[in-house]
């Protein structure tokens, strides 16, 4: 980070499918992590980075049904600890990369401060006087003992509760934004440049792998952020130039999310 702080806060989600290889257990895409970290080192905005889980979280959470909480007859305790440990490992790749590019950042593992799942989880949002880093995690839950708190719910809370948020950026993998049809069938014309909740799209959700909501959850949380008056954009996180431009609020290829059909 260089220079004086030029204005407000930008919250950015690094999608789990962007920073890991989603179908190979606990494998990181180091190149993408480094590009994102470098992009984040180039801004004077105050950043909150929320990263997803990808193959460090979803596979084991799915196998042991951790999103459903305690299930009698299933030995889940080890899996709860394993997924937390795996998420800390993924977070270390992120933190090491940020440090490599000179970013002063501090990480706050949600299982230490958040309780409950979904957008109404409890806990004071930690903020660092530099770059704040948090991530999707296995957290304690009053009703079901534990559950999965998605980074998409965390970003909603940061974007709407910090006082000076300028925009929320969702950096995702493999696509330029929200597409009208699943990526395998899409042409460049299928990118939805402005999306609002009344506009239907055929989102692909790998529910065989993912325990949280995929693109649909990002779109829904994006619309909630936008209805609080905060700009929201979904971009292809594999294009560092777009990541930088999105953070700075410049015009960029992607999907802007607005809250209503107006």
- Neighbouring-strand partners of residue 170: 13, 234
Cβ atoms of 118 and 101 closer than 8 Å: no
One residue of 35, 152, 176, 231 binding ligand IP8 per CB under 6 A: 152
Q: Is 132 in the site for ligand IP8 (CB under 6 A)?
A: no
How near is the Cβ of 210 to ligand IP8 at its closest, in Å?
7
Nearest CA to 152 among 222, 75, 77, 81? 222
Q: Is 41 in the site for ligand IP8 (CB under 6 A)?
A: no
Q: Is 58 in the site for ligand IP8 (CB under 6 A)?
A: yes
How near is the Cβ of 114 to ligand IP8 at its closest, in Å?
12
Q: Is 137 in the site for ligand IP8 (CB under 6 A)?
A: yes
Spell 146-177 as b/e; 16+ CB within 10 A means b: bbbbbbbbbbbbbbbebeebbbbbbbbbebbb
For ligand IP8, the closer of residues 144 and 180 by Cβ is 144
- Cα-flanking dihedrals φ and ψ of residue 82, to 5°? -60, -45
How near is the Cβ of 208 to ligand IP8 at its closest, in Å?
14
| Residue pointed to by tokens 């660092």 | 128
Nearest CA to 109 among 97, 120, 129, 94? 94
Nearest-angstrom CA–CA distance, 182 and 189: 13
Cβ atoms of 131 and 98 closer than 8 Å: yes
Q: Is 136 in the site for ligand IP8 (CB under 6 A)?
A: yes
| Widest pairwise Cα distance in the chain | 56
Among positions 85-104, residues that touch ligand IP8 (CB under 6 A) are 87
Q: Is 61 in the site for ligand IP8 (CB under 6 A)?
A: yes
Q: Is 57 in the site for ligand IP8 (CB under 6 A)?
A: yes
How near is the Cβ of 54 to ligand IP8 at its closest, in Å?
7
For ligand IP8, the closer of residues 152 and 176 by Cβ is 152
Q: Is 148 in the site for ligand IP8 (CB under 6 A)?
A: yes
One residue of 53, 105, 191, 235 binding ligand IP8 per CB under 6 A: 53
Q: Specify the stretch interacting with ligand IP8 by CB under 6 A; choose among 72-80, 120-128, 135-143, 183-191.
A: 135-143
How near is the Cβ of 151 to ligand IP8 at its closest, in Å?
3
Nearest-angstrom CA–CA distance, 25 and 82: 12
Handedness of CA 204, 257, 158, 120 (dihedral sign): negative
Residues that bind ligand IP8 in the complex, under the rule CB under 6 A: 16, 52-53, 57-58, 61, 83, 87, 136-138, 148, 150-152, 211-212
């Amino acid at each position: 980070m260089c220079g004086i702080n030029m204005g407000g806060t930008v919250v950015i989600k690094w999608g789990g499918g962007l920073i890991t290889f989603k179908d190979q257990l606990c494998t990181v895409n180091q190149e993408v992590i480094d590009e994102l970290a470098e992009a984040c080192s180039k801004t004077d905005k105050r950043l909150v980075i929320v990263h997803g889980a990808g193959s460090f979280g979803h596979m084991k959470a799915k196998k042991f049904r951790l999103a459903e909480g305690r299930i009698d007859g299933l030995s889940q305790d080890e899996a709860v600890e394993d997924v937390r440990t795996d998420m800390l490992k993924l977070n270390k790749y992120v933190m090491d990369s940020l440090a490599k590019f000179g970013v002063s950042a501090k990480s706050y593992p949600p299982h230490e401060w958040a309780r409950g799942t979904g957008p109404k989880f409890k806990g004071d949002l930690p903020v660092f006087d530099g770059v704040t880093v948090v991530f999707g995690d296995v957290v304690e839950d009053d009703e079901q003992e534990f559950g999965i708190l998605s980074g998409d719910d965390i970003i909603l809370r940061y974007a709407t509760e910090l006082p000076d948020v300028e925009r929320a950026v969702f950096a995702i993998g493999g696509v330029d934004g929200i597409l009208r049809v699943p990526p395998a069938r899409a042409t460049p014309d299928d990118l939805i440049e402005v999306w609002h909740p009344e506009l239907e799209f055929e989102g692909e959700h790998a529910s065989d792998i993912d325990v949280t909501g995929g693109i649909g959850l990002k779109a829904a949380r994006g619309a909630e952020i936008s209805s609080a008056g905060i700009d929201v954009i979904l971009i292809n996180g594999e294009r560092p130039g777009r990541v930088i431009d999105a953070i700075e609020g410049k015009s960029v290829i992607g999907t802007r999310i607005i809250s209503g059909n107006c």
